[in-house]
Amino acid sequence: MLPEAKASLSAEQIRLHERLAILLAFVAGYMDATGIIKWKTYVSFMSGNTTQLGTSLSSGKWGIIMTSVTVIGCFLLGIYAGTCLAVWKKCKSKTISFYLVIFLLIIYSVVSYYHQIPAIPSIAIIGFSMGIMNTIVTSVGNQKVNTDFVTGTLNSLAKNTALFSMTNDQEERKMYGSNAIHLLLLWLGFLSGAFVLPLVISSLGSWILLFPVLILLICAVWINKSAIPI
């Protein structure tokens, strides 16, 4: 949902953005848990990777340095690509970012079924995909959100809750309360994705990424059938 400068949104748009943000947060949590379990690297939590990079630079752990630099760089490239797609005036598709991520995850799953893909190219592809996904929904109502950034979500949740409790203006209380609920649901979405991954990883095996592919495909079809712009 770029660029950010949008006029006031309808209630239908806000509901659509909220549902999409929750589903994308679920996918991000699922993928982050996948990265931790399979490659000991976050694929959407760049604060953690930056911390690992800093500590590894001081101790000379070159393996962690390589994986951290790779995933951070590819995540940034994904955000760059997703933002360019969102503001590209010649592109009329509302769901091109969804389908690009779906394509990357399917190709990765098929190749990994037949061949063992090393950690570096794995986190490069997944990190790039998560960067693109991070640009799809950037606000719910008047509240900016980041479906991959849990620290920012919790920070905004606490601030909106504090502002809700400190104001006596009913319109402000309604706005801050609504923002807090959106942010709480976003956090729960991410938490749920991380919770589900360990439950299905043994049964899905090499096809573990097809679960988020299915969710993203449902989102894309849902948007295409809806007359509401994202």
List the chain pLDDT tens, one digit each, 230 residues. Answer: 554 444 456 777 778 888 888 999 999 999 999 999 999 999 988 988 999 999 999 999 999 999 999 999 999 999 999 999 888 877 777 788 999 999 999 999 999 999 999 999 999 999 999 999 988 887 777 778 777 778 888 999 999 999 999 999 999 999 999 889 989 999 999 999 999 999 999 898 889 999 999 999 999 988 887 765 55
Residue 64, amino acid: I
Three-state SS sequence of the chain: CCCCCCCCCCHHHHHHHHHHHHHHHHHHHHHHHHHHHHHCCCCCCHHHHHHHHHHHHHHCCHHHHHHHHHHHHHHHHHHHHHHHHHHCCCCCCCCHHHHHHHHHHHHHHHHHHHCCCCHHHHHHHHHHHHHHHCCCCCEECCEECCCCCHHHHHHHHHHHHHHHHHCCCHHHHHHHHHHHHHHHHHHHHHHHHHHHHHHHHHHHHHHCCHHHHHHHHHHHHHHHHCCCCC
Residue with tokens 């509401």: 228
For residue 143, the cross-strand partners are: 140
Q: Measure the CA angle with vertex 157, ends 47 and 179; round to 5°.
A: 125
Per-domain residue ranges of the chain: 11-225
pTM: 0.88
Residue 59, judged by CB atoms within 10 A of its CB (0-12, 13-18, 19+), counts as exposed
Residues 6+ apart with CB under 8 A from 107: none
For the domain covering 11-225, report its CATH number.
Answer: 1.20.1250
